[in-house]
A and B are shown apart, each in its own frame.
Chain A
């Protein structure tokens, strides 16, 4: 029996006298195949023992990825946040709105601005003549307050949300308290019950409500209080973002706590989108403002006469991109206490 060594094979192939060129090609092909197979199989011999450099560099996976379905429109979203003066047993929507804030979110710039309206602002209320702004909710519920603010600012408001004393306390407690950097000392034991030293602290529902209600202890009264309420909102947003970053499932806790203690016309799917969008806000640039004005008297009633020029400038800025240009940002009502602008 003949062996099949390459030499014998070559010799056997060259025996043919008819097509030597063809046979040489076949022989070369055969040799190439044998060399390739042998070489490849020999190349695997070393792999029976570990060879760290024989394979692509081994990289341990240590990575963090995510996707948050934020809204991507370029138009600002306007939401009117209202705080009802309703006491236990009273109809929430039929009382005065003693806390009125227009919150603007720009999904494309990730900016947020909060504009507080003094509750005593003397304004035209559609179909009801002129009155204090907070009376609009007594006249026609949150919808009329929205309509009043829309006519005042020229801004089309997308949604409203309304809470009340007990709802606010429960909401704060449901998320485990609110961490707030209290900007100055407060002592208002007779009215709101606010007793705070400045500094970062976690407030429970009762404390947060006291912080939000205190005006007797502030030099600018309701103006300063409105700014403090805005501070609670930015603090809540900051805490929500921090918790979401650490544990995204906390979003459900915040949505649940909010909806259990708020009346709103925001559809559920939009609310989820807004919640996810809020996680991407740049809170370092959050604006917390209060419309400026001066106190006056109408028919013996103390009111606030809004600064019309400031109102127009701020409204136009908000309509444009949801953010107020620096020159139009009004001075902080609590500046005398904080030493700021």
Chain B
């Protein structure tokens, strides 16, 4: 770690008592001072009681309605929200050779190794873009943009509403859970058997609960061209669609009594 000298934001002593001697009130004013001090202590107490009661009531209310806190409550230093776990299953790998002399199957191991490098990129793209509430609640997707090559980055950022859950997702959605994902990877080789590029063909679905009580099937289909930039695999071309549709509310889990009543 490199330590960098940072100039102080405030003049020394401006925020502290510093070395100035404490000002002692004259002895004749002691009784008045003590009374004033007591008043200064009691005034906040008087304020705090009703505020605490109201805050407790609000907290109780929010707690009993299932934690659907719809007013922003700042928690300084709060823990990040848990991210629903999601990984695309191992992709089917296709090979495109560019030399007529090449035995395609001889490239299989290299192709699968390369495809294994594409999988975490696409995993991150969809996890950070659609599932991580720490991103979509704020509408900020920095971890998504770092997956794109610099040439494709401006277009990617301007396509935020399609490549991610959107900048306003925090206003619309209450929760998002992954449903399913599918990926194929095609690997293009040069005549020497080196990987030139890959394209990942992706379909992804998630189930989103809206704050207005509606539900949505979030559907994304995309093709992402990747190349090794020396800084890992980056997306340099993309074609993505959003095909969201309204969804039925989730069916409640059957309880024992319901099961019993429907049993013959």
Tell me the A residues contacting B by CB distance below 8 Å: 4-6, 9, 12-13, 16, 18, 23, 26, 30, 33-34, 37-38, 40-41, 43-45, 47-52, 54-56, 58, 60-69, 170, 247-249, 251-253, 255-256, 259-261, 268, 272, 276
Contact = CB atoms under 8 A, between A and B. Distances in A.
Contact of B239 (A6, A12, A248): A248
Contacts of A34: 50-51, 54
B240 A54 contact: no
A67 to B, nearest CB: 4
Contact of B98 (A38, A58, A65, A259): A259
Closest 7 CB pairs of A and B: A50-B213, A67-B155, A259-B98, A61-B242, A65-B159, A256-B96, A66-B239
Contacts of A38: 54
Contacts of B245: 60
Contacts of A41: 54, 57-58, 61-62, 71
B238 A67 contact: yes
B70 A47 contact: yes
28 contacts: A12-B46, A30-B47, A30-B50, A34-B50, A40-B58, A41-B57, A41-B62, A48-B65, A49-B213, A50-B213, A51-B213, A58-B172, A60-B244, A60-B245, A61-B242, A61-B243, A66-B240, A67-B155, A68-B237, A69-B151, A248-B225, A248-B237, A248-B239, A249-B223, A251-B199, A259-B98, A260-B98, A276-B237
Contacts of A249: 186, 199, 201, 223
A188 to B, nearest CB: 29
Interface string B210-252: 1111101010000101000000000011111111111000000
B236 A69 contact: yes
Given A41-B58, A58-B210, A252 B97 contact: no
A52 B71 CA distance: 17
A60 B214 CA distance: 11
With most chain B CB atoms within 10 A of its CB, the pick from A34, A41, A60, A249 is: A249
Nearest to A258: B98
A34 B196 CA distance: 65
B136 to A, nearest CB: 13
Contacts of B197: 252, 272
Contacts of A253: 96
Contacts of A49: 213
A260 B70 contact: no
- Chain B interface size range: 35 or more
A259 B191 CA distance: 8
B168 interface: yes
Contacts of B171: 55-56
Nearest to A166: B100
Given A58-B172, A248-B239, A37 B199 contact: no
Contacts of B99: 259-260
B54 A252 contact: no
A255 B96 contact: yes
B162 interface: yes
A179 B100 CA distance: 24
Contacts of A64: 162, 239-242
A55 B163 contact: no
Contacts of B223: 247-249
Contacts of B216: 60
B93 interface: no
Contacts of B155: 65-67
With most chain A CB atoms within 10 A of its CB, the pick from B71, B168, B171, B239 is: B239
Given A55-B171, A253-B96, 5 more contacts: A58-B172, A64-B242, A66-B237, A69-B151, A255-B98
B98 A13 contact: no
Given A61-B166, A62-B243, A16 B238 contact: no
Contacts of A12: 46
B97 A256 contact: yes
A50 B152 CA distance: 40
B244 A16 contact: no
B39 interface: yes
Interface string B61-76: 1100100101100000
B190 interface: yes
Nearest to A67: B155
A158 to B, nearest CB: 20
B43 A13 contact: yes
B2 interface: no
A52 B155 CA distance: 33
Nearest to A54: B212
